[in-house]
Structure formats: structure tokens, C-alpha cells
Amino acid sequence: MSDFDYDLFVIGAGSGGVRAARTAAATGARVAVAEDRYLGGTCVNVGCVPKKLYSYAAHFHDAFRDGRGFGWQLPAAPEFDWATLRDNKVHEIKRLNEIYGRLLESAGVRLINGRARVADAHRVEVAGESITAAKILVAVGGWPWIPDFPGRELAVTSNEVFDLAQLPRRFLALGGGYIAVEFASIFNGLGSESHLVYRGELFLRGFDREVREFTREQMAAKGVRLHFETNVERIDKVEGGLRVTLTNGEALEVDAVLAATGRRPHVEGLGLDALGVELNGDGSVKVNERFETSVPSILALGDVTGGPELTPVALAEAMHLVQQHFADAQPAPLDYRNIATAVFCHPNIGTVGLSEEQARKQHGAIRVYRTDFRPLKHTLSGSEERCLMKLIVADDSDVVVGAHMVGEEAGELIQGIAIAVRAGLTKADFDATVGIHPTAAEEFVTMRTLSRR
């Protein structure tokens, strides 16, 4: 590898790119990273981190109200200041950007500011330099995409929604995935009149059907206005806001529209097409189990490859890639089964393993244990919010193949359950586990009554 300037050149300093750069450098490899926007990528800057901070902010609305049942009396009606949240978020993201910079520096990784272009199988051009590398890693992630309709330029994406000049009194999220559902809840919690418009009959396609239905009812009960089986036909600027005309003939007046209609691989201008790097049908970069593209010296990982668009997946792929290409270890291919995930809508969703529908297809005979209840907290708070917990069991082996929750802190709780599902524990193992009382979590080890087969 001494014939090249670097052993590894990484394009993109997001979660996956930075982890790959640092771990490769730890093996003794010479590494450089190019980034043209911000350190930490989507997750740190316009994704997971700021979204969770805004979700926390939105939960205070319920917390102030719930506190009354426990004896807390506020001297006046709480007031929310959007600028404080927005600006504090900016300071926190800047702090994280600096941490990422220090991590690269301490690892001995060179950081280059600029959008790199792949010139050939072993050469990139960036910031006026032509640099050679034994291996080039594409880790540029995805970019928001807005469908083509009149007035699309009036909508914002997840890149801009965190930094709106002011809190919209009326907010509309277009889409049915994580981002749309989460932001519909967030702005509702912050006090906006919140709408969600989705072309399908129910949001969060691919999740467990019962989870989706339960979430729909809970979000609607909290005040989110749901518009299914319709789409945005056009957006027009009118006095006092935006007029959104839907394909069902309905018209809504709002102050901001978030187009959360999907993300596409951010490969434009990278030069991969000129090299003949093979793409998947959705435009993502096609890779093998070693994260090699059709040009073996060019690697790719994370959202740009079309896999699960989750930060922990990109991190796991980065460490796997380094083991395969820069260490002596030859690990088995990365196992993408039983990856836990959370949706930070209100209430939260946490899930791991198979949905009931997937389990029926894969295992045939299954057992379903489920419960929904009003948590102890709300016996005094007065809130009618309910919690759903559900276990899917393969009947022949008794293995728990799926666990799902809709409720407060579902993501925190499901992380622990994910270990059990990943380990292949059985329903008997769950039943033999003594619960922690009184918690909502104990329901996962006390569900004995079969709900259905």
C-alpha cells in the first residue's frame, strides 16, 4: 500500500465514515477524510440528535399538565420559546462537531474540507488536490427528496426544519415514515396545530400492523390531525401562510410544510457513474458482504448502500469493514437480523425482530402475547394515554422472534429486550425472569395469557 498517498480515503464524515476512519487508523493505516458540509453527518446535525432534543422539548407539554395530579401547581401557564430551543440546539451541535474533529485529529486522520470526487479506482480529487489511496470509502449518506408538485419549493425538509425562524402555529408533515410521524408529534407537543398527510392507508409501513394502528389512535388522541389516503396536490403562498391543496379536494392553511417523503443516496457529483460503479434499482450503491462495490478498491457503507438507515447500523458496518480490510480478522458477514429501532413519536415506539405479519409468513404457527394498559403514572396524572406491549413467539421452538412496544421511553426499554431477542431466548426464559415492580417493563416478563395464534 506504500505506493499510494493513503491506505484509506473516506468520502463523508458522518457516523459511519468517522468510525471507519478512526478504527482503520488504529490498525496503523494512513487515513484521510473529506467532508464538505458538517462533521457527524445527518445524525448529529439534522437527524437523530436534534430530533431527540426537540422530542424532549415537546414532552414537557404533557409533563406540565400531568404534574397537577401529583400536586404541582404552576404559578402561570407555561410559555414555550422556540428561539431558545433552536439556539441551544445549535450550540450543542457545534460542541458535537468539535468533538468529532478532535476524535479524527487524535486518531491521526487528516481532515479535508471539500466535496471529493472519485477520479479513478485509486484517486480522488478534492479541494484542488489529487490524492491516491489503496481503498476509497464512500460514506456520504442520503439527502432529502421532495416529489414534483406545484409549490414544492415552499416546503422544507429535515435539513431545514430544525432552524425555522419562528415556531409555526400550524404545521403539516407530508409522509408516512419515521421523520413525518416524529415531527407531527413534536410540533403538536410544542403547541402547533399539527397535520400529517400520507398517501397510504396507514403510516410506518413495514412495522407491526397492531403497533401502527395503536400509534395512530394515540397520536390522534393527543391532537395530531391525520389525513390518510391523500397527497399534496399543490402548495400556494397566501396571505398569512401556505395553502395546501390535497388530492382528495381538501385544502389546509398552515405556516410550514415539512416534506418527509424519503431520502435518496447522495451520490451526485461523486464520479461513480463515470467509473461504472454498479447501483441498485433505487439508486443506492451496490456492495457485497465485504462492502466492496463493482470496483473492488471502492467501498461503501451506511445509508448510501440502501440498507437500514440507522446510525448504529452504519457504525457496525464501519467496524466490520475495517476488520475485513485492515485487520487480520475475517469475521462472518454482518447479521442484519433483529436490529432494534425506535420511532420518537408521542408516545414512542420501540421494536425488535419480526412483526406479527412477518412471523406468520416465516414461521407459520406463532403465538402472540399482548397487553395494553394505562400506566401507573397516569392513574394520578389524569392522562388517558395507554401503553402497548407485545411478544411474538415461534410456536415450534418457543423462541421470542419479535418484541414491540408503544409507550413512554419505549426505545430505552426495547434496547434491553433486544439482547434477549438477539440471543434467541424463549418465552419460557422470559417467563422465568422475575420482574421489577412497579414498572411498565415488567409486563414483558409477566404476559402469560395467550392473546391469539
Identify the helix (H) or strand (E) that includes residue 245.
Answer: strand 241-246
* Strand ranges in 121-213 using DSSP code E only, listed in sequence order: 123-126, 129-138, 142-144, 170-174, 193-198
Q: What distances in angstroms separate CA 429 from CA 307, 314, 388, one per listed residue? A: 32, 31, 21
* Strand ranges in 354-422 using DSSP code E only, listed in sequence order: 366-373, 387-394, 400-406
Name the active-site residue from 195, 346, 363, 437.
437
Q: Is the dihedral of CA 276, 278, 284, 290 positive or negative?
A: negative
Q: In what order do the strands lie in the sheet with 387-394?
A: 341-343, 349-353, 400-406, 387-394, 366-373
**CA 414 to CA 416: how far, in whole Å?**
5
Tell me the backbone φ, ψ of residue 372, rounded to 5 degrees: -135, 140
* Strands 341-343, 387-394: pairing kind: unpaired
**CA 182 to CA 178: how far, in whole Å?**
6
The DSSP secondary structure of 39-77, one letter per residue, reads TBHHHHHHSHHHHHHHHHHHHHHHHHHHGGGGT---SS-
**Is the preceding omega at residue 75 within 30 degrees of 0, hence cis?**
no
Task: Note whether 335 and 357 are within 8 A (CB).
Answer: no
Q: Is residue 294 classed as helix, strand or coil in its secondary structure?
A: coil
437 included as an active-site residue: yes
CA 91, chain centre distance (Å): 22
Nearest of 58, 24, 16, 8 to residue 40 by alpha carbon: 16
Nearest of 163, 209, 159, 203 to residue 184 by alpha carbon: 203
Identify the helix (H) or strand (E) that includes residue 298.
Answer: strand 298-300
Q: Would you name the residues annotated as active-site residues?
A: 437
